[in-house]
Amino acid sequence: MAKALAALTLGLCIALSTFAPFAAAADKKQPDWSQLTAEQQQILAPLSSDWNNFDDRKRKKWLLTAQRYPKMKPEQQQRLQTQMKDWAKLTPEQRAVARENYKKLVKQPPEKREAVKQKWQEHQQKGAPANSAQPAPPAPGAPPAPGAVPVPGAPPAAPGAVQTAPPTAPASPPR
C-alpha cells in the first residue's frame, strides 16, 4: 500500500507540474456541471460527481485542461482520462494521503524529486501490474498495517483484519 501511494504521489507530482501556470487564472465564478458544454462534459466526465463541490480555482484549472485536450496527442488524452478516473475512485482518505505525500515530495530537493520520478518511470516501463505493490494481507487476528485504508462497506476478511483498497495508477488531483 505504501509503495502504491508513493507511486500515486509521484504521478501526481508529475501531473500537477503541468498545471502550475494556471493556478492564478481563476478570478470569476466558474460554471456548474449543468452549464458546461457537451464537449467539456465529455472530456471531464470522470469528475462529474465531484464537479459542483470544486471551488472556482479547481473548476478553472479543469476547464483550461479541457480547452487544451483536443490539441493533446492521443496518448496524452488517454493518460489524462485514466488519471481522472483513478482519482475519482479514491476515497477521501486516500486522496488526503496522496495530497500529503505530494506536499512532502514538493519540499524535497530537486535531485530527490528527480530520483523519485526516475523510479516511477522505471516502474511504468516494467509494466508492473497494479497490484504488484500491494502488501500481503495481514494474518487473521493481526492488527491492520500502518496506513491501511478500510474498504467502505466491505466486511473484514477475518476478525481484526482490514481489507485495503487496491492501489491505483497516478492521478491528477483536483486542486
150, β-bridge pairs? 164
Sketch the domain layout of the chain as residue ranges.
2-133
- 98 neighbors 9 (Cβ within 8 angstroms): yes
Q: Which three cell numbers stand for residue 84?
A: 481522472
pTM above 0.85, yes or no: no
- 62 neighbors 44 (Cβ within 8 angstroms): yes
Q: What is the arithmetic mean of pLDDT over 121-126? A: 86
pLDDT at 80 over 60: yes
pLDDT at 115: 92
pLDDT at 12: 57
